[in-house]
A and B are shown apart, each in its own frame.
Chain A
């Protein structure tokens, strides 16, 4: 190709691109950023009904959770206006609301019945008493266990087990020859992966990341007890390579019958009891996450919620969609088409009062788990933050990821628990000092 032709082609091409770029954008179309979770994908399937009812078209931008965080954070901090609705969690909501990056949801219609939102969810998604994100689904964590293996081990799972019982049951269920691991837990680095699990577990051991004055406490005896207990139990009864296992790896192991117990998100209950996906669907029991008798259990609290960024040009349409997607009617729509076990859980009180939903095997334990987590009082000793498996401060995601990397290195045997905690304390001190606490 000659240079002249190349130049011509490029110029024409660029002109075309510019034209296409200029032609972008339609009236009455809202753009929603969301995560690729089962309930969210299901919601996308029902979007046509919303469009038919309201005349508002919906464009979806679905991304993996961490990519989505990066994408929407960039957009909202620059007031980019690329999205009309964001799918965010309990961690981001109070921080972004404090920065006035979100619009308040304080004028939802009477039909919507905002008072029906589970109080734990409403509190976690509010800032200074105002709701800033409507929960689409909520979750806590609980013990999912194999009833057949528990019976074979001659044990009976209590309604509210202790960590000592869990360790004992894990050892009894472990059968290395049959490739059965007594317990599967997250060990993967990342503040939302292994970092979330160990923080919730530490709560039940009386540990806390900070004292009331934001002084890091990772050098405390309680943290050493937490990590040593976790590592000893997992070394004895956990799967090989547990230091790199997250939610998906453990879900896969459990569904293939290779875990006696799995303590993780309550939303996993619908996966492990689905006979199309799980080989152990008919022998799964549920109970509360364990404690140590100190008054705090090791379960977390999380919600995926829909919020409106301050930069949107279509506030009314966005609110209309949020009211539709998080309504009682939407739950009924899903139940009608896909069964009660597949409705988005953990958001509304009325769902748990519904006799049909009460028949779902994991419904009551999910509710009990959610109700037993208090983001405003998550630890045995007082702390200055809100959040159960995280502290709702902007710096948390950064330094707690580093801390969890040190913990994972200890699980993998690359360093001792003491060394990991020493480094974690230094990382946290440095981060808090830099942030001016």
Chain B
């Protein structure tokens, strides 16, 4: 039954939501503003807010010094590629765990998640040596595979959670109607879990896009994505905050736009199964 909400409560909750939203958005807003300032204005105290001579100088300097399109393309290929590869592997795995659980399914799930607790640097050298032996250092294929492996536990867990919300009886009914396993997964399970699969894809693209340990340490020139692009503008000895802000805006803009257009799908997926 719907609960009556007074106007006062609405105002309070709306104000709180806006305050929280603006607080979350503030770092991005500040980065955006700084990217149009001179280096002197970027460090001014008291800070310069909106009224200054906006300049595109930093964006121009960043373009001159770096190959942004190449880094962007690498980020897209690595983030999308690793996520799709992960989905291909995770859908059958999550199906098996959700609908034909065995004695050790829970243990396997927990073990998969526990791999996320391993400090990444612990496997740095074995992975670098392996990549060197295979001749794939500084290649996009290496990053696709590595990021897929890193995010696979999360993908499996998310899909498992969504699949569990789907009544097994529906799948049984499709089997009674003569559906094969392949048909069951493609025509019955997938359409029902589509919001969950979509949100899993979106979240993992964001995770892969922002991954900054492996993407910097396993690349040099050819496969360096936007994380390496940003890192090239950070300096402990020299004030380049305006240029760093411009580089950051260029790096996050694509994922921000993608998030903006897909937020409905994202929220739907995240709350999938929460209300029956």
Contacts and interface: CB of A to CB of B under 8 A. Distances in A.
A61 B221 contact: yes
B239 A6 contact: no
A301 B138 CA distance: 35
Contacts, number: 141
Contacts of A35: 235, 237
B112 interface: no
A276 B142 CA distance: 44
A3 B191 CA distance: 11
A80 B132 contact: yes
Interface in B224-266: 224, 228, 231-240
A335 to B, nearest CB: 20
Interface string A223-256: 0000000000000000000000011100110011
Given A37-B235, A63-B216, A17 B141 contact: yes
A21 B4 CA distance: 61
Nearest to B129: A78
B156 interface: no
B239 A252 contact: yes
Interface string B104-140: 0000000000000000000011001100100011111
B186 interface: yes
Contacts of B221: 31, 59, 61
B237 A248 contact: yes
A354 interface: no
Q: How large is the interface on A (under 10, 10 to 19, 20 to 34, 35 or more residues)?
A: 35 or more
Contacts of A44: 65
A83 B237 contact: no
B235 A256 contact: no
Contacts of B233: 36
6 contacts: A10-B88, A17-B141, A20-B222, A37-B237, A61-B232, A74-B217
Interface of A: 2-4, 6-7, 9-10, 13-14, 17-18, 20-21, 24-25, 31, 33, 35-38, 41, 44, 59, 61-67, 70-71, 74, 77-80, 82-83, 192-193, 246-248, 251-252, 255-256, 258, 265, 267, 271, 276-277
10 tightest Cβ-Cβ pairs between the two chains A and B: A21-B139, A64-B234, A62-B232, A36-B235, A17-B141, A252-B43, A24-B222, A59-B221, A82-B220, A17-B140
Given A36-B233, A64-B236, A248-B239, 12 more contacts: A2-B186, A13-B84, A21-B142, A36-B235, A61-B232, A64-B232, A83-B220, A247-B237, A252-B239, A267-B237, A271-B238, A277-B39
